[in-house]
């Protein structure tokens, strides 16, 4: 599978903002779902947001009202705008995309390499 290309991580103070970008290996119209996951040190990976192509976008309770998922179809890119960041938002953030292709509807699951987000004073 082809990896997604992520960028935008960094170090910010509590209350600050970051925008993460994820460039897909093709038109994002082809992906049935896209989203972001994160993994804090010593913890399991958790869903941050998942967006279904023609239905809805669901956020984890911990980020509702602070994070916003968006798409730029012309650039084959999705974003995660993160505001009012807290220390507990610290972790490696991964972009994910899923599509089904071919006569047998083979599943293609794309992941980025991850980008580090650190929220600290």
Nearest-angstrom CA–CA distance, 87 and 80: 17
Beta strands 10-12; 115-119: pairing state: parallel
Please give the backbone phi and psi of residue 24, each rounded to the nearest 5 degrees, phi first: -85, 155
pLDDT confidence of residue 25? 86
Nearest-angstrom CA–CA distance, 35 and 57: 9
With CA atoms as reference, report the closest residue to 6 among 86, 78, 103.
Answer: 78
User: Which residues in the chain belong to E strands, given as ranges?
Assistant: 5-7, 10-12, 18-23, 33-39, 46-52, 57-59, 67-72, 77-82, 91-101, 106-111, 115-119
C-alpha distances (whole Å) from 115 to each of 29, 46, 105, 106 are 24, 15, 30, 28
pLDDT confidence of residue 2? 60
Mean pLDDT by 10 residues, the chain (121 residues): 87 98 90 96 96 91 98 95 98 94 89 96 92
pLDDT confidence of residue 28? 87
Nearest-angstrom CA–CA distance, 93 and 80: 10
pLDDT confidence of residue 1? 52
């Amino acid at each position: 599978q082809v990896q997604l290309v992520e960028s935008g991580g960094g170090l910010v103070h509590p209350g600050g903002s970051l925008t993460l970008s994820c460039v897909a290996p093709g038109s994002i119209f082809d992906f049935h779902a896209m989203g972001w996951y994160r993994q804090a040190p010593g913890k399991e990976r958790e869903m941050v947001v998942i967006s279904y192509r023609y239905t809805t976008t669901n956020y984890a309770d911990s980020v509702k009202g602070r994070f916003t998922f968006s798409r730029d179809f012309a650039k084959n890119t999705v974003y995660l705008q993160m505001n009012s960041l807290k220390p507990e938002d610290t972790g490696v953030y991964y972009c994910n995309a899923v599509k089904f292709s071919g006569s047998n509807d083979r599943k293609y699951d794309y992941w980025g390499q991850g980008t580090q987000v650190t929220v600290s004073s």
